[in-house]
Amino acid sequence: MADAKDAQFVKDIADMTVDFPRWYTDVILKTQLVDYGPVKGTMVIRPYGYEIWERIQEELNKRFKATGHKNAYFPMFIPYSYLVKEAEHVEGFAPEVALVTHVGDVPLEEKLVVRPTSETIICSMYAKWVQSYRDLPVLINQWANVVRWEKTTRPFLRTSEFLWQEGHTLHRTEEEAREETLKMLEVYREFMQNVLAIDVLTGVKSEKEKFAGAEATYAMEAMMLDGKSLQAGTSHYLGQNFASAFEIKYLDKDGQLKNPYQTSWGVSTRLIGALIMAHGDQRGLKLPPRVAPIQVVIVPVAVHKEGVLERAAALKEELQNAGVRVELDDRDQSPGWKYNEWEMKGVPVRLELGPRDIENGQAVLVRRDTHEKFAAPLEGIAETVKETLDAVHENMFRMSHEFLHSHIVTCNDMDEMKDALDKQCFVKAMWCGDRRCEDKIKEQLQATSRVMPFDQTPVGHECVCCHKPADKVIYFAKSY
Amino acid sequence: MADAKDAQFVKDIADMTVDFPRWYTDVILKTQLVDYGPVKGTMVIRPYGYEIWERIQEELNKRFKATGHKNAYFPMFIPYSYLVKEAEHVEGFAPEVALVTHVGDVPLEEKLVVRPTSETIICSMYAKWVQSYRDLPVLINQWANVVRWEKTTRPFLRTSEFLWQEGHTLHRTEEEAREETLKMLEVYREFMQNVLAIDVLTGVKSEKEKFAGAEATYAMEAMMLDGKSLQAGTSHYLGQNFASAFEIKYLDKDGQLKNPYQTSWGVSTRLIGALIMAHGDQRGLKLPPRVAPIQVVIVPVAVHKEGVLERAAALKEELQNAGVRVELDDRDQSPGWKYNEWEMKGVPVRLELGPRDIENGQAVLVRRDTHEKFAAPLEGIAETVKETLDAVHENMFRMSHEFLHSHIVTCNDMDEMKDALDKQCFVKAMWCGDRRCEDKIKEQLQATSRVMPFDQTPVGHECVCCHKPADKVIYFAKSY
């Protein structure tokens, strides 16, 4: 019976090895993480998805505050004239901004941009707030919705409106600003590994791929199970570009008026897409324990037997008190049906509890990541559960790490590159630095440059594309 | 010296008894809670203000989750056609909605409403999600930004864009939905009293003042220090109005397709305005301890003396470990200057620590609410501080309660009413229920009906306005 249901569940989800995009869509809709909004390209984040976001917010807020940042909130509407102040910035964003032109029937004097990112409006405020070197550094983060109208959309990965955080900092020196840029990249990397259990490649973007208006964009790239790369977060060194355009000036110790140096950095609800596509399997989601809305589900077996439900309820309370996010599934369904549902929903640990278990003073633990199944004494079970959750996390991270590093191929020419990409791998190669090579690779292989890693130990001497002398180590991949 | 500075601080803030609105503006700008955004009617919530909002969110989330609600996120853009589906709703909101008509240079096929509230878009999703009585109740809350274009704006109180939460629930029966409406009103009331230390009047709104599309609107009204009322939160019983307009239908146990019954309820960043105007004084803010970003500030005295700064830092750590939000002010300024600044910023408790205090094994505590000053042993000081914070809260609530109840006057006619309003009081009166009386009172006395309290013990038999027989007890007041 359980097997039959199991087969059916699998049947309802497209085969991930055949049609990964449909597998993704099937999984996110069936597990009720998300739904399509009525306006093209928008999404509704349903409670099960939003709870993951709340965990992400909590974990990042801890890290942002520990590094001295405070949250604030800036208006969503930006005067159109602000967008055009930084030349590269407007070029990058103007075609995809949503514009408010009317209130009710009345046209506005100046059309308003719904923020695609907040550098411009935040700089206009910083120009008011910063006067003296004593006002520096400014270390502010914002949690907000932003809008970028995209042609091709997919829930979490690319939507017209999404939720994110954006840090915007000002510093007295270039050195300090550059340090901040790398510090926040490192905060993100540590978060990806220790919270989402995803390994990433970090490094600097090419000129072509950098943020519109930045001097340098650093990014982390995660490998999805189809071998595509997902840019999971960025940290920009903005130099004095915006500060100068918005006339942010401070009186330095030496009595001179100067522009401060600036950074911005952000991650978004895209991270939810990342953890689905980095960890899932044919049964559905596999949620990293540290952000899973439900870490443990208790499924009582033979619920009609006296004492089973009561014992299960007591177990739930015990785990709850120990700080575990736990749910007791006492619905009127067979255990097999429930096992399948909770596996699909990616709950990291299942606890089965039947009359015989209770007699033996034990419960049965089943891990979502390895399907490992073992009995554990009810005495001290909260400790066992917590250790198991940590073990699940460690194993999921190890899997992600191994998957990433076993799917990177060093290539010397375009043929090797094509071959590697066809095998759903990332390409590590030398690059001359010429944008025309990036364009050619994009055109011929549908791959883009991802990052140039900090470790620039050469893997050759010629550009993988034009074969001219090359001194840049870089990753190429197909990407989301 | 300290006195001179003190006088100057007071001089910079308008006299609250003479010009309360300017006092408000002076205080919020000088304490850096907020700033004006570049677009008319918008505000920037600065870190000191936003931290209050984060505390409010945390406290409300606890209460919402304890009553079974989950958070989700719905798109901000609503197809214009949705707004017009509920007749009263569109009439109420259409003139003040911001409309997105273009993306970049390209006009949209259908103009989009930037949500002024989310009933319509949420109902369109609920219609998809709800099929059976087993899907009920639906208990969802959303934290989001909303936009309502207002002619007259003031930071926190009325802004074009503001932050809020909006609960949207569906129920099988009218009884259950009505119960939910009142339950959430009660959650709000308890929160106002136990967290913001503000007493409120609760009750039901008149037809004229209710939410566009509701069957009944319940509200809580708080009294500001100028005797005006501020609507601090609302809870609406929506009946089947939206469910029917959006065709939300479920198959009931009896095999019939039915519309569920609905509620919605919300509070906003307006609450920050409420706590400023309910508690402040001539020196500035007086923040309720449970939402104050900084609960205790340590001001070391004679910092050049050996050991003072070290002892102050140790004290800070001790309080931090005890869960107190504490700041050590080691800036290069005189203690008097710092005392004034932190009083203006409304920090509930100040801890002064000088060499003599350290010798005597004590610190000096100063309460923001009563200006009471007393020495406390450093041994066990965390406990003393926490008790003091609770005492400050209790006293602030008692003050609010007494202020409210000593400023309510029962009136029998328009002259008495004018007199009471001129004395900055709320009016308690009998009302016939005719909207024309409300209109007349608005026109002649600039007061509006606030709520009809649950306790309807009559205070007369005639309408305060038309003197016809009246059976409704109601409050009138000038309001924000």
A325 within 8 A of A287, measured Cβ to Cβ: no
Q: What is the pLDDT of residues A86-110, one digit of tens each?
A: 888 888 888 999 999 999 999 999 9
Q: How confident is residue B5, by pLDDT bands cut at 50, 70 and 90? A: very low
Is A160's Cβ below 8 Å from some Cβ in B?
Answer: yes
The closest CB to that of A99, out of B76, B79, B100, belongs to B100
Q: Is A299 exposed, middle or buried (0-12, 13-18, 19+ CB in 10 A)?
A: buried
The closest CB to that of A95, out of B73, B76, B104, belongs to B104
Q: Is A303 exposed, middle or buried (0-12, 13-18, 19+ CB in 10 A)?
A: middle
pLDDT of residue B92: 85
Is B52's Cβ below 8 Å from some Cβ in A?
Answer: no
Is B107's Cβ below 8 Å from some Cβ in A?
Answer: no
Our measurement of the distance from residue A443's CA atom to the centroid of its chain's CA atoms, rounded to an integer in Å, reads 27
Question: Is the model's pLDDT at A7 over the cut of 60?
Answer: no
Q: Which chain A residues have a beta carbon less than 8 Å from that of B320?
A: none
The arithmetic mean of pLDDT across residues A298-324, rounded, is 94
Six token digits for residue B340? 């004034």
The arithmetic mean of pLDDT across residues A173-187, rounded, is 98
Is B187's Cβ below 8 Å from some Cβ in A?
Answer: no
The closest CB to that of A45, out of B50, B72, B114, belongs to B72
Q: What is d(CA A349, CA A325) in angstroms, rounded to the nearest whole number? A: 11
Tell me the pLDDT of chain B averaged across its residues: 95
Q: How close is the nearest chain B Cα to the Cα of A337, in Å?
A: 17
The arithmetic mean of pLDDT across residues A40-60, rounded, is 98
Question: Is the model's pLDDT at A1 over the cut of 50?
Answer: no
Q: Is the peptide bond before B75 cis (omega within 30 degrees of 0)?
A: no
Q: How confident is residue B1, by pLDDT bands cut at 50, 70 and 90? A: very low
Q: What pTM, to 2 d.p., does this model score?
A: 0.96
Q: Which chain B residues have a beta carbon less than 8 Å from that of A37?
A: 74-75, 77, 121, 125
Q: Which chain A residues have a beta carbon less than 8 Å from that of B129?
A: 35
Q: How confident is residue B308, by pLDDT bands cut at 50, 70 and 90? A: very high
> Side chain identity at B354, as an amino acid letter?
G
Q: What is the pLDDT of residues A445-475, one digit of tens each?
A: 999 999 999 999 999 999 999 999 999 999 9
Q: Which chain B residues have a beta carbon less than 8 Å from that of A55?
A: none
**Interchain CB distance below 8 Å, B47 and A144:** no
Q: What is d(CA B47, CA B327) in angstroms, rounded to the nearest whole number? A: 15
Q: Which chain B residues have a beta carbon less than 8 Å from that of A104?
A: 94-97, 99, 149
- Return residues 252-271 of A near B (CB < 8 Å): none
The closest CB to that of B50, out of A73, A94, A149, belongs to A73
Tell me the pLDDT of chain A averaged across its residues: 95
pLDDT of residue B71: 98
**Interchain CB distance below 8 Å, A98 and B96:** no
Using DSSP, state whether A292 is helix, strand or coil.
Answer: coil
| Among B33, B39, B51, B138, the residue to mutate for chain A (most A Cβ within 10 A) | B39
Q: What is the pLDDT of residues B22-65, one digit of tens each?
A: 999 999 999 999 999 999 999 999 999 999 999 999 999 999 99
Helix axes A270-279, A381-405, angle to 10 degrees: 90
Question: Is the model's pLDDT at A180 over the cut of 70?
Answer: yes
| Among A34, A99, A115, A159, the residue to mutate for chain B (most B Cβ within 10 A) | A99
Q: What is d(CA A267, CA A275) in angstroms, rounded to the nearest whole number? A: 13
Q: Which chain B residues have a beta carbon less than 8 Å from that of A94?
A: 104
Is A73's Cβ below 8 Å from some Cβ in B?
Answer: yes
Nearest to B289 by CA among B349, B226, B210: B349
Q: How confident is residue B437, by pLDDT bands cut at 50, 70 and 90? A: very high
Give the DSSP H or E segment for A108.
Answer: strand A106-114
Q: What is the pLDDT of residues A16-32, one digit of tens each?
A: 999 999 999 999 999 99
Six token digits for residue A142? 């914002």
**CB contacts < 8 Å between A and B, how many?**
155
How many CB atoms lie under 10 A from the CB of residue A372? 13
Q: How confident is residue B6, by pLDDT bands cut at 50, 70 and 90? A: very low
Is A464's Cβ below 8 Å from some Cβ in B?
Answer: no
Using DSSP, state whether A436 is helix, strand or coil.
Answer: helix
The arithmetic mean of pLDDT across residues A230-248, rounded, is 97
**Interchain CB distance below 8 Å, B161 and A121:** no
**Interchain CB distance below 8 Å, B39 and A103:** no
Question: What domains can be seen in chain B, in order of their start residue?
Answer: 19-279 (3.30.930.10), 296-388 (3.40.50.800), 408-477 (3.30.110.30)
DSSP A462: B
**Interchain CB distance below 8 Å, A47 and B128:** no
**Interchain CB distance below 8 Å, B101 and A103:** no
Q: What is d(CA B238, CA B258) in angstroms, rounded to the nearest whole number? A: 15
**Interchain CB distance below 8 Å, B45 and A72:** yes
Q: State residue B383 phi and psi, 5-degree precision.
A: -60, -45
Note every long-range contact of A203-208, with CB atoms under 8 Å and residues 24 or more positions apart, other chains counting. Answer: A203/A450, A203/A451, A203/A452, A203/A453, A203/A454, A203/A475, A204/A451, A204/A452, A205/A234, A205/A449, A205/A450, A205/A451, A205/A452, A206/A435, A206/A438, A206/A449, A206/A452, A206/A474, A207/A435, A208/A435, A208/A438, A208/A439, A208/A449
Question: Is the model's pLDDT at A5 over the cut of 90?
Answer: no
Q: What is d(CA B124, CA B245) in angstroms, rounded to the nearest whole number? A: 10
Q: How confident is residue A304, by pLDDT bands cut at 50, 70 and 90? A: confident
Q: How confident is residue A11, by pLDDT bands cut at 50, 70 and 90? A: low
Place of tokens 């107190």: B324
pLDDT > 90: percent of chain B: 93
Is B179's Cβ below 8 Å from some Cβ in A?
Answer: no
pLDDT of residue A302: 85
**Interchain CB distance below 8 Å, B77 and A44:** no
Contacts of B431 (CB under 8 A, 6+ apart): B437, B438, B449, B452, B463, B464, B465, B470, B472, B473, B474
pLDDT of residue A343: 97
Q: What is the pLDDT of residues B374-419, one digit of tens each?
A: 999 999 999 999 999 999 999 999 999 999 999 999 999 999 999 9
Strand pairing report for B261-268 and B472-477? unpaired
Q: Report DSSP letters for A350-379, one per residue.
A: EEEE-HHHHHTTEEEEEETTT--EEEEEST
Q: What is the pLDDT of residues B218-233, one digit of tens each?
A: 999 999 999 999 999 9
Is A161's Cβ below 8 Å from some Cβ in B?
Answer: yes
* Alpha helix ranges (H) inside B67-173: 80-83, 87-93, 119-129
The lowest-confidence range among A7-16, A235-244, B135-144 is A7-16
Give the DSSP H or E segment for A59.
Answer: helix A47-66
Q: How close is the nearest chain A Cα to the Cα of B266, in Å?
A: 18
